Amino acid sequence: MTHGASEPLPRYRLVVAYDGVAYHGFQLQGPNLDTVAGRLEDALARICPEGQEGGRVTVEGASRTDAGVHALGQVCAFSSRLTVPLDRLPVAVNSHLPADISVLSAERVPPEFEPRRHARSKTYAYHLWRSRVPSPFWRDRALHVVQELDLEACRAALAPLEGRHDFAAFRDMGSSAKTTVRTITRAELVSSPLPSGWPRPGEFITLRLTGDGFLYHMVRIILGTLLDVGWGRLPPLITRQALASGKRAALGQTAPAHGLWLERVVYGDGDGDTAGSAPGPEDLERRGFGGFHFP
C-alpha cells in the first residue's frame, strides 16, 4: 500500500523498558550523546522503509526521563510505511537494540496519537536500599542509604501532596512547563524486607507516585525532601508550607537520578483501557524477571 502526500503514515505505539545507566536520558540531545530514543531510531531505521531509503524514523516518548533514570513502561510512538507484521515488531526491533533496552509490545494507533499529550496518568517509583551494606545488584538502580528513616514522619509529609495543587516549589530550574498545577492521585511510601541472608537491619523502601503529569525533577525533589524529613532535618509540615509558598529553597535536595523508574503510562477513556501500561516490580518478580530482588 502506498501513501500519498495528504495521507498520514500508519502510526505505531511501543512500550519500552530500559536500564538508563548508560544513556543521557530518553530524548535526543545531539549527535554525540547516546540516548534511548537515538537507539530506538537507529533500530527502526534498520527495519522501516524510510530508514532503508536513507531517511529518519522519528521516535516520540511519553516522558523524557533524565540521564540515569530507568523505565519499565516508557511509551513511544513513530510513523512509518512499515511492512513487518505487528506481532513480530517487538522481536524485529529488539534484534537491533542493545541488551539494556527492550521493546515489550507494539500496536497500531491513530495517526494523531501523541504519547506525551494523550497520556492520562504516569506512575513513577523511586527505590531506596537502606542497609549498612550496599547492594552490588542495585547500586545503579536504587539509592543506597545507611541511616534509619522515620517512615511515619515521611508519610505525614507525603500525604498533603495528593490532590490537585500548584507544585511550583517542587521543580528545578530548567523547567519549560507552561503551568505548575498538577494532580497526584496516588502517593505512597512502602517498605519491604531485604533478601533473606542480607545483613540486618535494613529494608527496601519505594516511593510511588501516580499523577497526570510531573514537573522537571519533581519526583526527585519529593524524595529528597522525604529523606530530610525522615532524618529529622525538616518537619513533616514542610511540604504543606512549600505548596502554599511556592518556594523551592524550603525543600530538600534533588535526589540522584539512578533510583528513579518510570513504571507505567496509562491511556484510554476511563473504561479500563490501559493500553501502553507496563507491569510494576511486583508483577515482574512473579513472572521471573528482575534479577536479584524486587520488593
5 in any annotated domain? no
Q: With 90 as the cut, is the pLDDT of residue 102 above it?
A: yes
pLDDT at residue 273, as a whole number: 42
Label each residue of the chain as H, E or C: CCCCCCCCCCEEEEEEEECHHHCCCCCCCCCCCCCHHHHHHHHHHHHCHHHHCCCCCCCEECCCCCCCCEEEEEEEEEECCCCCCHHHHHHHHHCCCCCCEEEEEEEEECCCCCCCCCCCEEEEEEEEEEECCCCCCCCCCCEEECCCCCHHHHHHHHHHHCEEEECHHHCCCCCCCCCCEEEEEEEEEEEECCCCCCCCCEEEEEEEEEECCCCCCHHHHHHHHHHHHHCCCCCCCHHHHHHHHCCHHHCCCCCCHHHEEEEEEECCCCCCCCCCCCCCHHHHHHCCCCCCCCC
**Range 222-242 average pLDDT:** 98
Rounded to 5 degrees, φ, ψ at 48 are -100, 145
Sequence-distant (≥ 6) Cβ neighbours of residue 15 within 8 angstroms: 73, 74, 75, 103, 104, 105, 106, 276, 277, 278
- For residue 131, the cross-strand partners are 202
Residue 102 and residue 129 share a domain: no
pLDDT class for 98, splitting at 50, 70, 90? very high
Tens digits of residue pLDDT in 268-281: 844 334 444 434 44
ω into 201 cis (within 30 of 0): yes
Q: What are phi and psi of 58, to 5 degrees?
A: -85, 130
Model pLDDT, residue 293: 36
| Residue 16 and residue 102 in one domain | yes
CA distance 260 to 220: 8
Q: In the predicted model, what is the mean pLDDT of residues 225-239?
A: 98
Q: Residue 4: which pLDDT band, with cuts at 50, 70 and 90?
A: low
Provide the pLDDT confidence category of residue 52 given band limits of 50, 70 and 90: confident
Number of domains in the chain: 2
Same domain membership, residue 238 and residue 128: yes
User: For all residues of the chain together, what is the average pLDDT?
Assistant: 89
Cα–Cα distance, 11 to 107 (Å, whole number): 9
129 in the same domain as 75 = no
The two beta strands, 163-166 and 70-79, are: unpaired
pLDDT tens digits, 134-181: 999 999 999 999 999 999 999 999 999 999 999 999 999 877 778 999
State the pTM of this model: 0.89
Cell of 109: 494507533
Do 98 and 210 fall within a single domain?
Answer: no
Query: Which residue in the list 42, 66, 87, 273 is annotated as catalytic?
Result: 66
> What is the tens place of the pLDDT at every residue in 209-228?
999 999 999 999 999 999 99
pLDDT value at residue 280: 40
Q: Between the CA of residue 193 and those of 23, 199, 262, 293, what are the distances in Å?
A: 30, 11, 22, 10
- Which CATH number do you get for residue 38? 3.30.70.580
Q: Does residue 269 carry a catalytic annotation?
A: no
CATH number at 142 reads: 3.30.70.660
In a domain, 282, yes or no: no
Which pLDDT does position 5 carry in this prediction?
57
CA distance 16 to 207: 22
What pLDDT was estimated at residue 3? 57
Whether residue 284 is predicted with pLDDT greater than 60 in this model: the reply is no
Q: Clarify whether residues 134 and 233 are in a common domain.
A: yes
Q: Which domain holds residue 98?
A: 11-109
Domain-ending residue, one of 75, 109, 143: 109
Q: Are residues 133 and 89 in the same domain?
A: no
- Read off the pLDDT of residues 5-36 as tens digits, 9 standing for 90 and up: 568 899 999 999 999 999 999 999 877 899 99
The answer on 239 and 158 residing in a single domain is: yes
- Please enumerate in sequence order all residues whose Cβ is within 8 A of that of 19, keeping only pairs 6 or more positions apart, or say none: 70, 100, 101, 140, 141
Residue 90: predicted pLDDT? 98
**What sign for the dihedral angle of Cα 138, 144, 147, 153?**
negative
Asked whether residue 249 is assigned to any structural domain, the reply reads: yes
Query: Does residue 174 sit in the same domain as residue 139?
Result: yes
